[in-house]
Structures are given as C-alpha cells and as structure tokens.
Amino acid sequence: KQEVTQIPAALSVPEGENLVLNCSFTDSAIYNLQWFRQDPGKGLTSLLLIQSSQREQTSGRLNASLDKSSGRSTLYIAASQPGDSATYLCAALPNAGNMLTFGGGTRLMVKP
Amino acid sequence: DTGVSQNPRHKITKRGQNVTFRCDPISEHNRLYWYRQTLGQGPEFLTYFQNEAQLEKSRLLSDRFSAERPKGSFSTLEIQRTEQGDSAMYLCASSTNSGDEKLFFGSGTQLSVL
C-alpha cells in the first residue's frame, strides 16, 4: 500500500525567502507525482504534475523534482510571497489504478 | 465552463439522517472522482467513474455510501444513516482521458453531522 509523507507539517518563513517542501513515497511504481495547493476551506488547485519518466517540472516561481529511485519529490518555491500562504499537498498516482494517494500536506505561512 | 461545481457548499445534518451531494464536472471530462478530507489531513480516495461506469471503490466506501453517475455527466454521493464520523469535506474532481491524469477539483461540500 502506497504511503505518502510530507515534511515539515508546517513552515513559517519571511517574505522573499526561497524554500523547499519535501514529499516521500514508499512505492516507486508510480505513474506520476502531483503537487496541489489548498487554501483554507477550499478545494485543491493543481500546481505541477511530473510524469514518472520526467525529473522535474517548472511553472513560474515553482519547480518540482522527482526521484523515483529514492521515493522523493521536492517543491521549490522561489522568492516567496504572502500570497503563497496555503497548504501544499503532494499525491502519487500508481501505475495500476486511478487512486491518488495524498500526503498530509505542508501548511506554509509567508510573513510580510 | 468555469470548472468543477459542487453543491451544497455546506450541509449540517443530524445523526441518522440521509444526505446527498452533487458534483458537476468540467463538461468534456469523462473521469470523475470523489475524495474525503478531514481537518489537517490529505484527501482520501473514495471512488472513481469513467463515464457512467464506477470502476474503483475504496474500502472507506462503506455500505452506507453510494455514488452514481447515471448519464456520465453529473454525479451524486449519498450517505445513509449518517454518523458523526462522516463529518468531513467531500471533494469531487474530474479529468480527461488524455493520459496526463491532471485532476481539477471542486470547492467541496463540508458535512457536519451533529
């Protein structure tokens, strides 16, 4: 059974800082790895999707990497802004099946 | 089309009552998913439809839960004889069958069972 873990559970940084959020998964037989953002009381917004054959994806100030062999993914946020404050969730999609397994999320606070 | 729509946004019910939630996916998406999320946790998979066919169900989906997608468009999730442990955010998501599996989520229905 796939297990996804995110560390840290919460993070507070000053505005402008570059930061890294970590995601680890136990089963490397994944089809893709996805990162989402969730604002309080809201649904999830897809940020980046990395296919199993890819090493990284970039969108604006966000860069996500994937290392299947070590079961790890990182989300790098450059020049953080207060508007980046949210919970960030990673999720792994298996090769067989359509069930995304989510981590518990990292709650990010960027202070002005 | 503005995205995945879920109704109601909030539902408060008494223990033992039945509740039904609706999800309208993005119109061209043939895949539809239901997830449940409790406070401070990541979403947990409940069930998945491709068109009108329910292809996967989690063990979390007890006999009190039933989901339908009768015409391959909107979907409903019904919970019978609600329990306090059913209190959660119920999220719906949809995707195309393109192979990239990018999911688009609705804003969810927050259920509170008193």
Measured between alpha carbons, how far is A95 from A52 in angstroms, rounded to an integer? 9
- pLDDT of res. A99: 86
Question: What is the greatest pairwise CA distance in chain B?
Answer: 42
Of B92, B85, B91, which Cα lies nearest the Cα of B113?
Answer: B85
Chain B residues within 8 A of A104 when measuring between CB atoms:
40-42
Across the interface, which of A32, A42, A102 has its CB nearest the CB of B107? A42
pLDDT at B99 over 80: no
Read off the pLDDT of residues A7-49 as tens digits, 9 standing for 90 and up: 999 999 999 999 999 999 999 999 999 999 999 888 899 999 9
Instruction: Please give the pLDDT value at position B107.
Output: 93
Mean pLDDT of all residues in B77-83? 97
pLDDT over 90 percentage in chain A: 89
pLDDT higher than 70, residue B100: no
Per-residue pLDDT averaged across B37-55, rounded?
Answer: 93
**B42/A93 CB distance under 8 A:** no
Comparing alpha-carbon positions, the chain B residue that sits nearest to A94 is B101
Mark which residues 39-58 of B lie under 8 Å from A by CB: 40-45, 48, 55-56, 58
pLDDT in tens, A56-90: 999 999 999 999 999 999 999 999 999 999 999 99
